[in-house]
Amino acid sequence: MLSILFSAVCAVVMVGQPTMKYELPRIAKSANERVIRHDNFTMSYNIDRLTPTYVAWCLTPQMVNGKAKRTDFFNGDPSIEAKYRVVHADYYGSRYDRGHMCPAADNRNSTKAMEQCFYMTNMCPQNHALNAGGWNDLEVQCRSWARNYGKIYICAGPIYDNKSSMRRIGTRRNIRIAVPDRFYKVVLMVEAKTTKAIGFIYPNAAANRDMRYYAVSVDEVERITGIDFFYQLDDASEKRVEAECKPAAWGI
């Protein structure tokens, strides 16, 4: 659990989403952050890196088992000023996938939510082998947990190990998208008698090892990212669950 103080980021953009709880983290205040709330997920979008700092959502069986079809229509996010708005063509020739942070298959409950998850604010440059391999496996596992537990809280995003010399892609001079070195995902399940959390860190490269290899404590993800997760829990529960890394407790 982080001991430093955090404050809410500025420039909140409302897009009609009800207030959510455990999935929303706290990050250090920065003029570069734009908080965007869509129907199924909330993000803080960094206008310098042109990628989300985090994307957070509460995943339910209704979102997983819905009938909305995948659109595959990547589009600029109208919530962001035009000068910071990435479009699908900005990835052309980069050899990176447009990697969802909140995946399409987590947004099957409505056509509108499905369309929103294809906004480019929800994307990061992602190695294809990771996107189609280990990262996808983790997404599938999260949907299985949502079905089994009824509700889980997820927050995911990129990690930049060297912020002073990030690799950039883009076809326009004023739109240069930072390429992450790694990706994180943290997951929380809250029940009256059982509350547990787990984190994962994947390289932005092929990740073919067992999922347990990439599992870490939430404390470790906080240490690397500087983000305060699950702060809405009572202090004792937060301290306990964020220190643990028990894949077996999650059935993996």
Domain segments of the chain as ranges: 12-250
Question: Which amino acid, residue 160?
Answer: Y
- The low-confidence residues of the chain, meaning pLDDT below 50, are 2-20
CATH architecture of the domain 12-250 equals 3-Layer(aba) Sandwich (3.40)
pLDDT for 191:
86
pLDDT for 47:
98
Taking only the tens place, the pLDDT of each residue in 120-155 is 999 999 999 999 999 999 999 999 999 999 999 999
pLDDT for 5:
36
**What is the rounded distance in angstroms from the CA atom of residue 190 to the CA atom of residue 198?**
12
pLDDT for 125:
98
pLDDT for 1:
52
